[in-house]
Amino acid sequence: MPNYKIERNEKYHTGVLIGFGVLLVFLVLLPFWGDKSTMRLATEMAGYLALAVMWNLLAGYAGVMSIGQQAFVGVGGYTVFTLAGLWGVPLIPSILLAGLVAGLLAIPVGLILFRLNGAYFAIGSWVMAEIFLLLTAQSDYLGAGSGMSFPTAVAKSFGNSTERAALFWWIALAIVIAALLIAYLWLRSSRGLALTAMRDDEVAASGLGVNVMRNKLQVFLVASAVAGLVGAILFLGKLRISPTSAYDVNEWTANIIFIVVIGGLGRLEGAVVGTIIFFLLRGFLADFGSYYLIILGLIAIITMLKMPQGVWGLIYDKTQIELFPLKRKIVS
Amino acid sequence: MTLLQTHNLDAYYLDFQALYGVSISLDAGQIVAIIGPNGAGKTTLLRSLAGWVPVERGCVTFDDESIGGFAAEKVVALGIASVPEGRRLFHSLSVEENLLMGQESNRSGDWSTDTVFDLFPVLQGLRKRRGSDLSGGEQQMVAIGRALMANPKVLLFDELSLGLAPTIVGDICRTLPVLRDKGVSMIVVEQDVRRALDLSDYVYCILEGKINLEGESNELAFDDVANAFFGV
Amino acid sequence: MSELVNTIIQGILIGGLYALFAAGLSLVFGVMRVVNLAHGDLIVTGSFLAFTATSILGIHAALSVVFVLPLMALLGYSIQRAILNRTVGTNVLPPLLVTFGIAIILQNGLLQIFTADDRKLDFGNIEIASMQIGNISIGWYSILVFVCAIAIIAGLQFISYKTRIGRVLRATADDPEVAQVMGVDTRHTFSVAMAIAMVVCGISAVLFAAWTSFTPLSGPSRLLIAFEVVVIGGLGSIWGTLIGGLTLGVAQAFGGYLNPAWQMLAGHIAFIIILVLRPAGIFKGR
C-alpha cells in the first residue's frame, strides 16, 4: 500500500508563523509604546475579535445561528463585578470563574434551545438573552435596572488607571489568543471535520456517526465561556455595568455578526479581517450617529447578497493563501 | 411539422455537465420516448425543455421560436406542460385544487376539471382528498390532469411508470393515444425499454449525456436498443 | 379576585393582537421558509406611519389605516422583490442575516427621524370607555382590538382556503419549483405573501400603537412576541396561532398581576416552559 499522509502547511507558513511571533511580541509590549487610550481600544478590539472568532465557529462551522450571545457577555460582566467587586475574590480567578459560569449556563440553555432548529434557534436564543436581562434587572443585589459601578477601592487595588489599562490589555490579549488557538485546534482536529460535515448536511453527518447534538453543545459551551470572559474584561475596563449595556443585542451580537459576515463566514481569518474593517469604519463614521449603524446594515446586506464569501473569502479565492492552515492536502 | 427541438444542447446538473450536444426533435402529433439508464441525463433533458435548468437561448426552439433559458412559468405559458418525476403533487392542496393549479399558466382551451374527471373517472370521488392521501397511481392521474389543465401543445412526462403497479401503468399508457388524438404531443422519459418502444413513435436512447441511438420505434430492434441502453 | 379576573380578560383581549403579530411572521415563514428578523421593526414602522399620518393630516387615528395599509403592502412587496427574493432557497443563514440587516436599518432610520421619544396614537374616548359586568370592567377599546383581530384572522383563513391567491400561496409553500412549472411567477407570489403579511402587521401596528406607547426601539420586543406565539401555537394552523396569542397574553397579564415588572418575563418563561414540555421539540426538520 502506498504511503500517503495529510499535509496542511505550505512553505510560506513558516513565514506566517514568524510574522505571528513578531506581532505577538509587538502586542505584548503595547503598554511600553502605546498610551492609555490605545490600550483601551486594543482591549476592545481583542474582545470583539474573540467574540467574532467564536461566533464564526458557531454559525460558520457548527451551523448554530445564535443571536443571543449577549446573554453570556452580560453574565460574564455581572459575575466578575459580583466576585471581584462585591466579594473580594482576586482578579484573575474572578475572570476565569466568569467564563466558567457563562459556559456552564450554556449547557441548560443549549439543551432547551437546540429543540429549535435553524432560524427558530436564532430567535429562541434572543428570547433567552431577554430573560437574562429581565432577571438581572429584577435583582436589587446587582443594582436592578440601573446597574452597578465597580467599587473604586477594589479597582485601585489593581493599580492606577494606566496600570489597569495595561493589565486588562494583557488579559484581553490572552483571551483572544486562547480563542484563536481553541478555534484553530478544534477545526484542525477530527472534530473540525465533523463540524464542517454538520454544517453542510446535519442529517447526513449524523448518519456518518457524528453526534450532532453533542458537537453543537460543545461549541456553544466554549463560545459562551469565551463570551463570558470577554464580558468580564470589557466591563472591568468600563468600571460600570447595567442590564441594557450588558445584554445589548446590537453591541454584542449585531456588531459581531457584521464583523464575521464582512470578513468571511466560515473562515478563521475572516474574523480578524472583519474586526479590523469594523474598527476602521467605526473610526471614520463616528460622527454620523445612527447613520453609522444604517451604513453598517447596508454594507452587511450588500456583502451577503453580492459577496457572501466575505473579504477574506475573496482574497482566498484569488491567492489560495491561508494564514491559519486548515486545508487538508494528501501527498504520497 | 417540427414542434419542439433541441440543437446541440449542453446542460448542467449542479456543477456537472449532464448533456453534451444533444439534438432531439418532436413533431406535432408525435409521442417521443427518451430511454436510458439512471444518471444518463434524461431528467436534465426534460428540465432543460421545461425551463427548470438554465440553458443557452438558441439551444431549444418551439414553434420556430428560441425558448432556451426561458423561466419555467414562461415555458408553460407557451404550451409546454410537465408531469414531474415522482408526481410532486401539492400535498396540502386537495385533488381539485391541485388540478386548478394547472390553470395558472392562463392558457385557454377545452380542459377543465370536468374533462379531467371524464378522462380519469376515479378522481371524481377523490376531489376533496389531499394530494398526500392518494395512491401512487391516483397521484399520477392528478399530475397528468394538472398538466392538461394548462391546455398544452406538448406534454413532458418524466418517469411515467416509476414506482407504480403494472396494472396502473397499463391504464395510464392507454390514455396517451387518447391525448394525442386531442392534439397533445408528448415526450416521455421511460426506463422500461419494451414499454417505451410500444407507446412511442420515435425513440432516443441517451447514455452519459449523449444520444447514442435513435430511430422510429417500430423499426428499431429491441436488442439494438437494449445494447445502446447498456452502452455495449 | 375581580382584579385577577380583570387581568386575565385583559390578557385574552391583547392575545388577539399578539396572534396578529404572529400571523404575519408565520405566513412569511410558511411560504418563503424565511424567518423575518425585521418583522418587529416593520410593525413599529407601521406605527410610525400611522403616527405621521394622524399628526400631519390631523385625521382620527383609526383613519390612518387608509395610508398605512397601502404603504405597508408596498414596503413589504418591495423589500421582498428587491432584496429577500435573492436569498430564497439558499441555506438558513443568508435570509436571517439580511433580515437582521434590514431590522438594524429600520430601527436606526426611525431613530434618526423620530428620536427615541415615547409616542402613542390617540383613539379618543373609546380608550377610556368601559363596559361594566358586576365588579368587572372591560375597556371598549380592548374589545374593539380583539374583535378586529378575530375578524382579520378569519379573513386570512378565507383568503388561504377560498381564493385563487390563497391556493397559489399554499401550493408555492408546498413546492415552489413545481408551482413555477405550473406557471406561477414565484418571485411575485413571494412578494405578494410579504405584502399580505405587512398589511396584517399594519393593522396590528395601528391597534397596538394606541394600546401602549412605542419608540423606534420597540421592534425586537414585537418580534419576540410574534415568535413566541408561533412556537406556542404551532405552525401551520391560523387558529393555533390564535391560541398561542391568547396563551401568551394571559401569561403576561398574570405575571404583571403578580408584579408589574414581571409582565414580559412571564411571557418569556411561559414560552420556555412550553418549549421544554414538548418532547420532540417543535418544527423539527422543517
Q: What are the tens digits of pLDDT across the range C28-66?
A: 988 888 889 999 999 999 999 999 999 999 888 889 999
C-alpha cell of A10?
505550505
Side-chain-side CA neighbours of residue B63 (13 Å): 7
C-alpha cell of A231?
464580558
Nearest CA in chain B to C236: B92
| Under 8 Å between Cβ of A99 and C210 | no
Residues 6+ apart with CB under 8 A from A249: A67, A68, A70, A126, A129, C220
Nearest CA in chain C to A249: C220
| Under 8 Å between Cβ of C24 and C198 | yes
| Under 8 Å between Cβ of C198 and C12 | no
C-alpha cell of C157?
383563513
Residues 6+ apart with CB under 8 A from B76: B50, B51, B82, B105, B150, B152, C181, C182, C183
Mutate to test the interface with C, among A109, A123, A128 (most CBs of C within 10 A): A123
- Own/partner contacts of A157-164, CB < 8 Å, gap of 24 or more, are A158/A91, A161/A36, A162/A31, A162/A36, A164/A237
Nearest Cβ partner of C177 from B52, B91, B150?
Answer: B52
List the subunits that have 3+ CB pairs under 8 angstroms with A: C
Q: Hunting for cell 396563551 — which residue is that?
A: C247
**Numbered residues of chain B with Cβ closer than 8 Å to any chain C Cβ:** 50-52, 71-73, 76-77, 81-82, 84, 88, 90-93, 97-98, 100-102, 104-106, 146, 150
Q: Which residues pair with B82 in a beta bridge?
A: B156
From residue B162, alpha-carbon distances to B36, B84, B136, C13, C244 in Å are: 14, 11, 10, 54, 43
Nearest CA in chain C to B51: C181
Nearest CA in chain B to C179: B101
pLDDT of residue C280: 43
| Under 8 Å between Cβ of C174 and B91 | yes
Nearest Cβ partner of A127 from C92, C104, C224?
Answer: C224
C-alpha cell of C16?
388577539
Mutate to test the interface with C, among A295, A304, A307 (most CBs of C within 10 A): A304
C-alpha cell of B118?
371524464
| Under 8 Å between Cβ of C140 and C7 | no
* DSSP letter string, C116-171: S--B----GGGGT-EEEETTEEEEHHHHHHHHHHHHHHHHHHHHHHHSHHHHHHHH
Alpha-carbon distance of B229 to B209, in angstroms, equals 12
- Residues of chain A found within 8 Å of residue C97, distances taken between Cβ atoms: 257, 261, 300-301, 304
Terminal Cα-to-Cα distance of chain C (whole angstroms):
44
From residue C283, alpha-carbon distances to A318, B130, C29, C30, C100 in Å are: 41, 21, 12, 11, 22
C-alpha cell of A33?
509604546
**Interchain CB distance below 8 Å, C171 and B50:** no
Tell me the mean pLDDT per 10 residues along chain B, length 232: 91 86 93 90 91 87 91 94 93 94 93 94 93 89 95 92 87 91 93 89 92 90 83 74
Nearest Cβ partner of A115 from C34, C265, C275?
Answer: C275
Give the ipTM of the model, two decimals please: 0.91
pLDDT of residue B224: 84
**Interchain CB distance below 8 Å, A127 and C227:** yes
Nearest CA in chain C to B88: C178
Secondary structure in 3-state letters for C173-204: HHCHHHHHHCCCCHHHHHHHHHHHHHHHHHHH
Task: For chain C, say whether A92 makes contact (Cβ under 8 Å).
Answer: no
pLDDT tens-digit profile of A209-222?
A: 788 888 899 999 99
- Own/partner contacts of C129-137, CB < 8 Å, gap of 24 or more, are C134/C2, C135/C2, C136/C2, C136/C5, C136/C6, C136/C9, C137/C6
pLDDT of residue C232: 86
Nearest CA in chain C to B94: C167
Alpha-carbon distance of A110 to A168, in angstroms, equals 30
In CATH, the architecture of B2-230 is 3-Layer(aba) Sandwich (3.40)
Mutate to test the interface with C, among A202, A298, A301, A302 (most CBs of C within 10 A): A301
Terminal Cα-to-Cα distance of chain B (whole angstroms):
34
C-alpha cell of C196?
399580505
**Interchain CB distance below 8 Å, C178 and B91:** no
**Interchain CB distance below 8 Å, C265 and A116:** no
- Residues of chain C found within 8 Å of residue A254, distances taken between Cβ atoms: 100, 104
CATH number of residue A89's parent domain = 1.10.3470
**Interchain CB distance below 8 Å, A116 and C223:** no
pLDDT of residue A81: 95
C-alpha C32 chain-centroid distance: 17
pLDDT of residue B32: 95
| Under 8 Å between Cβ of C47 and C205 | yes
Alpha-carbon distance of C30 to C174, in angstroms, equals 9
Q: Hunting for cell 447613520 — which residue is that?
A: A291
Q: Which residues pair with B13 in a beta bridge?
A: B16
User: A110 lies in which domain range?
Assistant: 5-331
Q: In order of start, what are the domains of chain C with their CATH numbers? A: 2-277 (1.10.3470)
Alpha-carbon distance of A201 to B209, in angstroms, equals 28
Domain range annotation of chain B:
2-230
C-alpha C102 chain-centroid distance: 17
What parts of chain A have a pLDDT lower than 70?
1-2, 329, 332
pLDDT of residue B165: 87
**B and A adjacent (3 or more CB pairs under 8 angstroms):** no
Q: Which residues pair with B216 in a beta bridge?
A: B202
- Residues of chain A found within 8 Å of residue C103, distances taken between Cβ atoms: 297
- Residues of chain A found within 8 Å of residue C86, distances taken between Cβ atoms: 305
List the subunits that have 3+ CB pairs under 8 angstroms with B: C
Residues 6+ apart with CB under 8 A from C31: C169, C172, C173, C189, C190, C193
pLDDT of residue A1: 55
3-state SS, residue C42: helix
From residue C123, alpha-carbon distances to B154, C48, C126 in Å are: 60, 15, 7
**Total count of residues recorded for chain C:** 286
Alpha-carbon distance of A316 to B66, in angstroms, equals 40
What parts of chain C have a pLDDT lower than 50?
279-286
Alpha-carbon distance of A137 to B17, in angstroms, equals 60
**Interchain CB distance below 8 Å, C224 and A123:** yes
Q: Which residues pair with B11 in a beta bridge?
A: B19
- Residues of chain B found within 8 Å of residue C177, distances taken between Cβ atoms: 52, 72
Average pLDDT for chain A: 89
Determine the distance in angstroms separating the CA of B81 from the nearest CA of chain C, rounded to an integer. 7
